[in-house]
Chain A
Amino acid sequence: MIEVKGTVHPDVKAKVDAKSWFYTDEVRDHFFNPKNILKTQKEATEYEAISDGVGEVGSPACGDMMKIWIKVDSDSDKIKECKWQTFGCASAIASTSIMSEMVIENGGMTITQALALKPHDIVERLHGLPARKFHCSVLGDKALSAAINNYFFKSGQKDRIIVSKGAEIVDKILKITDKDIEEAVLEGAHDFEAVQKKTKVGVQDKTCIPRVKELIEFYKDKYYG
């Protein structure tokens, strides 16, 4: 890393210190040294054969795509391994990486704990993401839910399959749900443009826009009345 030192100008207060970068140190660390990653297409193919569940969200056309593979210990219902691949920017790569760590640390999360994981938890562990990069953490979280669902399906636990955390899928391409819209509104996005910036909803699936606008009004009313 290049060291950018010193103040910009004696009169300018904002200090540029040695660790200054575009993202937090945590994002930086996970971007340059991603954890639990499958480093080649070959590794991914081989791992897929032995994994218990696989989930994929996004598309290269939107600029982000994530794939997550999990191994589950059926006795304890805990996720023992969480591997991934990502097409995307530094925050997308870092979000998936730190999430994979969170899922398997301390002996692994139970499926219930993993399903309760929120994009916000991921962002918190990264010590923050720029607001317009928030959707990167949403995608990671969604890919994990998809992988868990796939595990339910493959292991014959059909009664446990959930349509996406009990939520309504609004954007069919990015698999964005009403919960994501709710979260965006809670974070201060109060119109369609702002919600789209956070979540990328409707960028590809334009048909969902009217419904999204309805939901924004609903949640605004609910929380800010």
Chain B
Amino acid sequence: METYFDHSATTYLRPEVTQVMNKYLEDEYGNPGSFHYKGLKAKLALGAAREKIAKIIGCDPSEIIFTGGGTESCNLAIKGLTKSKKKGHIITSSIEHHAVTDTCDYLERHEGFDVTYVGVDKDGIVDVEQVRKAIREDTILISIMYANNEIGTIQPIKEISEIAKDKGIVFHTDACQASGSLDIDVRNIGVDMMTLNASKIYGPKGVGLLYVRKGIRLVPLIHGGGQENNRRSGTENVPGIIGFAEALELAQAEKDSESARLKEIRDYLIKRVVDEIPESWLNGHAEKRLANNANITFLNIEGEAIILLMNEHEIYVSSGSACTSKTLDPSHVIVAMGMPYEAAHGSIRFTLGKRNTKKDVDKLMEVLPDIIEKLRGISPVHLKAEEIR
């Protein structure tokens, strides 16, 4: 039996989603742009899905642009806005997903924009004061994530959006990790642009959206047939969007009960791991974190080796280790919290979801202490937590 603790990477589809999608994969497969009934049916279904999502996030349906996923949405928000200006200043944080940091980095290197990366405190929370202080005359965009994908910390989005509003700066938030458990009504959180995707909430991969408040001008990144009000060309992913709407509706309806359930399992996992395995600790704020996220450092060993040994027991997790990244750099998120590299290499992310129960934690704890002990035994490194934290 597999134990999947990697829900922040992606999720399985929930059956309700598969069911609604099937109809649009096999029967109502029309192109919404076609001038016949087959196309019209798809167009109507697409419109209904858009309205459903608009209602959930508290916006007008015309303020939603469907995209090919969270990464594309972040790119569209940041590049789309900056392309409409010649130059300017962007504020983002040091713990964003690469979809945001690499886009900002590109704009800085190749398009002449200035970027300020505001830091986080030792718990991985963005410092609102630093955001305020970073604002310049020419600041055109602030992009700060709602909840972090690695350490699960929930960011002070409302406070930042108030600052942005006050200064007349566009504020984008990447809310990909937030939609399963947090309030994503844009009227409540006050953001101007918001990225969401389906594949973290039991919806399909390759579908996302960007909410763009009316009046904000974006230059499209993809040109062609003029779909999505000329802002994102390409035939709409009708089954994906319908699945996305269904997944989002269910996730938001269940968010309080499911969060409470996951939190209990998460806290049980954290307690058992940290209590039973020496020289291990939780990364990120203890309370201001996603209900499903536990990120734990195991000192003196390296994350890839841990993952591969757990993999043999069909327990699936991820790591902030350099060895598992394409760049050979350890997690920029853990390092941004002021943790030394040593701590980042041995960090493991457990992200829970619908199929997990406390029994999965018990199964984990049958094997994890031995794995850690084995790897520590063969490691020539013998640091103590208090020496490096």
Tell me which of B17-25, B107-115, B339-347 binds A.
B339-347
Residues of B close to A31: CB separation below 8 A: 305, 308
Q: Cα distance A44–B379 when bound, in Å?
A: 10
Partner of A63 from B326, B330, B380 at Cβ < 8 Å: B330
B184 to chain A, nearest CB (A): 34
Residues of A close to B345: CB separation below 8 A: 60, 63
Tell me which of A9-17, A32-40, A155-163, A206-214 binds B.
A32-40
Which positions 90-109 of chain A face chain B at CB distance < 8 Å? 90-93
Q: Is A220 an interface residue (CB 8 A)?
A: no
Which positions 206-260 of chain B face chain A at CB distance < 8 Å? none
Residues of B close to A197: CB separation below 8 A: 327-328
Partner of B326 from A62, A85, A91, A132 at Cβ < 8 Å: A132
Which positions 351-385 of chain B face chain A at CB distance < 8 Å? 377-383
Contact A87 B341 (CB under 8 A): no
Q: Is A50 an interface residue (CB 8 A)?
A: no
Contact B321 A63 (CB under 8 A): yes
B347 to chain A, nearest CB (A): 12
Residues of B close to A133: CB separation below 8 A: 323
Residues of B close to A85: CB separation below 8 A: 378-380
Q: Cα distance A89–B326 when bound, in Å?
A: 14
Q: Cα distance A60–B380 when bound, in Å?
A: 9
Residues of B close to A1: CB separation below 8 A: 312
| Contact flag A61-B341 (CB < 8 Å), given A2-B314, A87-B302 | yes
Q: Is A81 an interface residue (CB 8 A)?
A: no
Partner of A65 from B308, B312, B324, B381 at Cβ < 8 Å: B381
Q: Cα distance A62–B342 when bound, in Å?
A: 8
Partner of A87 from B308, B312, B322, B380 at Cβ < 8 Å: B380
| Contact flag A63-B379 (CB < 8 Å), given A90-B308, A197-B328 | no
Contact A93 B378 (CB under 8 A): yes
Contact A65 B380 (CB under 8 A): yes
Residues of B close to A90: CB separation below 8 A: 304-305, 308
Q: Is A41 an interface residue (CB 8 A)?
A: yes
A74 to chain B, nearest CB (A): 26
Q: Is B301 an interface residue (CB 8 A)?
A: yes
Q: Cα distance A44–B377 when bound, in Å?
A: 9
Partner of A22 from B300, B301, B308, B342 at Cβ < 8 Å: B308
Partner of B379 from A2, A62, A86 at Cβ < 8 Å: A86
Q: Cα distance A65–B378 when bound, in Å?
A: 11
Residues of B close to A34: CB separation below 8 A: 378
| Contact flag A56-B380 (CB < 8 Å), given A1-B312, A87-B302 | yes
| Contact flag A86-B328 (CB < 8 Å), given A1-B312, A2-B314, A22-B308 | no
A214 to chain B, nearest CB (A): 22
Q: Cα distance A65–B326 when bound, in Å?
A: 20
Contact A89 B380 (CB under 8 A): no
Which positions 41-74 of chain A face chain B at CB distance < 8 Å? 41, 44, 56, 60-67
Q: Is A128 an interface residue (CB 8 A)?
A: no
Partner of B328 from A38, A44, A61, A200 at Cβ < 8 Å: A200
A70 to chain B, nearest CB (A): 15
| Contact flag A86-B378 (CB < 8 Å), given A60-B345, A62-B341 | yes
| Contact flag A61-B378 (CB < 8 Å), given A31-B308, A87-B300, A88-B302 | no
Q: Describe A's contact surface by its main secondary structure.
A: mixed
Residues of A close to B322: CB separation below 8 A: 62-63
Which positions 123-182 of chain A face chain B at CB distance < 8 Å? 132-133
Residues of B close to A93: CB separation below 8 A: 305, 378
Partner of A39 from B311, B342, B378, B382 at Cβ < 8 Å: B378
Contact A60 B305 (CB under 8 A): no
A201 to chain B, nearest CB (A): 11
Residues of B close to A203: CB separation below 8 A: 328
Contact A41 B323 (CB under 8 A): no
Residues of B close to A2: CB separation below 8 A: 311-312, 314
B298 to chain A, nearest CB (A): 12
Contact B380 A88 (CB under 8 A): no
B304 to chain A, nearest CB (A): 4
A17 to chain B, nearest CB (A): 17
Residues of B close to A22: CB separation below 8 A: 308
Nearest residue (CB) in A for B383 is A60
Which positions 29-85 of chain B face chain A at CB distance < 8 Å? none
Q: Cα distance A88–B381 when bound, in Å?
A: 10
Interface centre among A40, A44, A88 (most CB of B within 10 A): A88
A65 to chain B, nearest CB (A): 6
Partner of B340 from A38, A40, A61 at Cβ < 8 Å: A61
Return the CB mask of B90-110 against A: 1 if under 8 Å, else 0. 000000000000000000000
Residues of B close to A62: CB separation below 8 A: 322, 341
| Contact flag A63-B305 (CB < 8 Å), given A85-B379, A132-B326 | no
Contact A87 B301 (CB under 8 A): yes
Q: Give 5 nearest A-B pairs by CB, closest first.
A: A89-B323, A89-B304, A67-B380, A61-B341, A85-B380
List 9 additional contacts besides A39-B377, A60-B381, A87-B300; criterion CB under 8 Å.
A38-B378, A39-B378, A40-B377, A56-B380, A60-B300, A60-B341, A60-B342, A63-B321, A65-B381
Q: Please list 9 pairs of residues, one from A and one from B, whose beta carbons are closer than 8 Å in the complex, sorted by A's number.
A: A61-B340, A62-B341, A86-B379, A87-B301, A88-B302, A88-B323, A89-B324, A92-B302, A133-B323
